[in-house]
Amino acid sequence: MKRAIITVTGINHTGIVAGISSVLANFGVNILDITQTIMGDIFVMALLVDITGMDDVTPLVERLLEEGDRLKVKVSFEREEIFRAMHRI
């Protein structure tokens, strides 16, 4: 299974979860896990998603970044292995 972690940070307001998850739904990307916290005023959300079978993630990443701009939040996309390399011995 190919997985990625999408991180969303920014000033908290309504519609962030809906906006990002609808982009994922449009690409047929399944959300496996989701965590969300508010640190002060900052909204932080991390989504673990399944991208198995997606050969080129470019359109998805571009669309996510666009949606981030629209929602005025910062969106990052990283394949999961990079977190494992950095945080697990």
Partner 1 sequence: MMFTTEEILETIRMIQVEHLDIRTVTLGIDLLDCRRDRVEDTVRSLREKLLESTRGFLDTIKKVELEYGIPIVNKRVAITPVSLLLSSLDIEDYIYLARELDKTAIDIGLDFIGGYTCFLEYEISDTDRVFLRSIPLVLNETERLCASIVTATTRAGINLDAIKETAYIILETARVKNNPIVCTKLIVLSNPPPDNPFMAGAFHGIKRGQRVINVGISGPGAVRSAIERLPKDGDIVSIAEEIKRISFKITRAGEFIGKEIARRLGISSVSVDISLAPTPQKGDSVARIIERIGVKHFGAPGTTGLLFLLNDALKKGGLMASSSVGGLSGTFIPVSEDKGIAEAVGKGALTLEKLEALTNVCSVGLDMVPIPGDISPYTLMGIILDEMAVGVMHNKTTAVRILPVPGGRPGEWVEFGGLLGRAPIAKVNETPCEGLFERGGRIPPPISSYRN
Contacting positions for partner 1 (CB under 8 A): 4-5, 7, 9, 33-35, 37, 44, 46, 48, 56-58, 61, 74, 76-87
The CA distance from 43 to 38, in Å, is 5
**Closest CB to partner 1 among 19 and 46?**
46
Give the shortest CB-15-to-partner 1 separation in angstroms. 21
Give the shortest CB-20-to-partner 1 separation in angstroms. 15
Give the shortest CB-51-to-partner 1 separation in angstroms. 9
- Contact by Cβ (8 Å): 77, 4: yes
The CA distance from 83 to 89, in Å, is 11
State the DSSP code for 67: H
